[in-house]
Amino acid sequence: MERLAMQDLIKWKEFPYRKPLIVKGVRQVGKTWLLKEFGRKFYSNTAYFNFDEYPEYREFFSHTKDVKRIIPNLAMASGQDIQPERTLLIFDEIQDCPEVINSLKYFCENAPEYHVACAGSLLGISLAKPSSFPVGKVDFLSVYPLNLHEFLMATGSDNLAAYLKELDEISPIPEAFFNPLAEKLKMFFVTGGMPEVVKQWIETQSVGQIQSTLTNIINSYERDFQKHPDITQFPKITRIWNSVPSQLARENKKFMYKTVKEGARAREFEDALEWLVNAAVVYKIYRITAPGLPLSGYEDQSSFKIYLSDVGILRRLAKLDPSAFREGNRLFTEFKGALTENFVLQSLIPQLDAAPHYWSRINPSYEVDFVIQRENEIIPVEVKSDTNIRSRSLQKYTETFKDQTKLRVRFSMNNLKIDEDVLNIPLFMADQASRLIGIALHKHNNSNQELL
């Protein structure tokens, strides 16, 4: 299947100041397949080393830091001729190999002619540790689950994917495209974007097989929880993980430690939560007090929401049956719209340089689902699971921060349109949001210039 991240890898290969690459992403998101496919398509050959499957490879890095000595040993072990510029070196499962991670510094400084790309299932955990990481000597690439555009291409709907990609104005989408896209979105809520699940759906068209594959992925995550160096954290990580559906089922989705365990406090569970964040299986979205630049400068770190990396995994973890797929827009509205919010968030994150936040106020209660920073614009985002688009919270935000609000964005099952300063984006266009916002802002700025 076609992955958009391949274009990022090509840019890395062609960049004159290229450094060794670390590919990050949640387990089973397709990092290894992507690197191998990249090597197959764009290099003369690939030398692949898995340090979990063959721990003896670590010895090549423990006795020397000299790349010129390491390379011949790797060539002998792999049976591959490792040539500068022509061979892709893939180091996989390096999360428990500090010597290998540290060696990237010397590949960068002393042998930049070798193309090195690394991956690992829990690499984010290792990178969170301060010991001997080659700061400034590596490039990073984050790989995410398939977005809807990739899902459309993978499932044979290239025409729909091409239509969305080429849309260059804010105008209603014809029903001939709108209705099939809405149906594809429902199916995406069932499968999610994990490559193995999408592959199973393409090959079998079996919802039962999807359920089984998602269960296997969840089980593999839960086995990873035991890899925390402090074994006493394992039950805490598991409790937080299992609490996510309950956290998101509330009207107010602020993370509550008491939902994890009655009487629990932050200091008891915060290390376990950070482990899940670093493992990339959950996203942590902080509340902001005001829409200033940068958003991170206005965080209230005591208030946050957590979502999962993939909507299909959330649906399976929540035990929401795929039968809801056949009942109008029920799949979007069930579970307090949590699946829809999770879908929008996972669609937004790859498009933005800064992490999304959210805004809320108490007494009376208001909450805007997300606030995003796109370039130097701060934009409030409301997520609606159906065609009912009334939102007193979005209106209150605008009244409170009128001078800072050029544009508001609403995701819903209504058609693409802009009403004054509100851009309505159909949910199935969430992964096109940054581009559509750019079009809307350009139109807004031109209108202001004409008035002047």
User: What pLDDT is stored for residue 362 in this prediction?
Assistant: 86
User: What pLDDT is stored for residue 123 in this prediction?
Assistant: 82
What torsion, rounded to 10 degrees, do the Cα atoms 381, 436, 378, 401 define?
-60
First to last CA, the chain: 50
How many domains does the chain divide into? 2
Tell me: do 113 and 154 sit in the same domain: no
Which of residues 123, 142, 161 is at a domain's end? Answer: 142
Tell me: do 386 and 259 sit in the same domain: yes
Tell me: do 193 and 53 sit in the same domain: no
User: What pLDDT is stored for residue 326 in this prediction?
Assistant: 73
pLDDT per residue over 246-261, tens digit each?
A: 999 988 899 999 999 9
User: What pLDDT is stored for residue 132 in this prediction?
Assistant: 63
Tell me: do 22 and 155 sit in the same domain: no
User: What pLDDT is stored for residue 131 in this prediction?
Assistant: 61
C-alpha closest to that of 184 among 208, 156, 219: 156
Tell me: do 349 and 332 sit in the same domain: yes
CA-only gyration radius of the chain, Å: 23
CA-to-CA distance for 319 and 185, rounded, in angstroms? 19
Q: Are 95 and 126 in contact (CB under 8 A)?
A: yes
CA-to-CA distance for 75 and 83, rounded, in angstroms? 10
Q: Are 139 and 12 in contact (CB under 8 A)?
A: yes
What torsion, rounded to 10 degrees, do the Cα atoms 117, 123, 129, 134 define?
0
We report the CATH number of the domain holding residue 99 as 3.40.50.300
Tell me: do 305 and 413 sit in the same domain: yes
User: What pLDDT is stored for residue 1 in this prediction?
Assistant: 86
Tell me: do 411 and 307 sit in the same domain: yes
- Tens-binned pLDDT, residue by residue, of the chain (452 aa): 899 999 999 999 999 999 999 999 999 999 999 999 999 999 999 999 999 999 999 999 998 999 999 999 999 999 999 999 999 999 999 988 989 999 999 999 999 999 999 999 888 877 766 566 788 999 999 999 999 999 999 999 999 999 999 999 999 999 999 999 999 999 999 999 999 999 999 999 999 999 999 999 999 999 999 988 889 999 999 999 999 999 999 888 999 999 999 999 999 999 999 999 999 999 999 999 999 999 999 999 999 999 999 999 999 999 998 887 677 677 677 777 899 999 999 999 999 999 999 999 988 889 999 999 999 999 999 999 877 777 799 999 999 999 999 999 999 999 999 998 999 999 999 999 999 999 999 887 776 655 54
User: What pLDDT is stored for residue 373 in this prediction?
Assistant: 96
| Side-chain-side CA neighbours of residue 311 (13 Å) | 28
Tell me: do 130 and 214 sit in the same domain: no
Residue type, 313: I
CA-to-CA distance for 290 and 299, rounded, in angstroms? 9
Q: Do the bridges between strand 417-419 and strand 422-426 make them parallel or antiparallel, or are there none, so unpaired?
A: antiparallel
CA-to-CA distance for 378 and 297, rounded, in angstroms? 13
Tell me: do 216 and 283 sit in the same domain: yes
For 205-233, give one letter per residue: b (16+ CB within 10 A) or e. Answer: eebeebbebbeebbeebeebbebbeeeeb
Tell me: do 127 and 170 sit in the same domain: no
pLDDT per residue over 391-415, tens digit each?
A: 799 999 999 999 999 999 999 999 9
C-alpha closest to that of 214 among 318, 121, 120: 318
Q: What DSSP line would sit under 50-71, residue for residue?
A: ETTT-GGGGHHHHS---HHHHH
Which of residues 142, 163, 194 is at a domain's end? Answer: 142
Q: Containing domain of residue 340, as a range?
A: 148-451
User: What pLDDT is stored for residue 130 in this prediction?
Assistant: 56
Which residues make Cβ contacts (< 8 Å) with residue 252, sequence separation at least 6? 360, 365, 367
Which of residues 89, 121, 142 is at a domain's end? Answer: 142
Tell me: do 309 and 361 sit in the same domain: yes
Tell me: do 274 and 412 sit in the same domain: yes
Which DSSP helix (H) or strand (E) runs through 303?
strand 299-308
Question: Helices in 167-254 by DSSP H: which ranges?
Answer: 175-191, 195-204, 207-224, 234-249
CA-to-CA distance for 108 and 451, rounded, in angstroms? 53
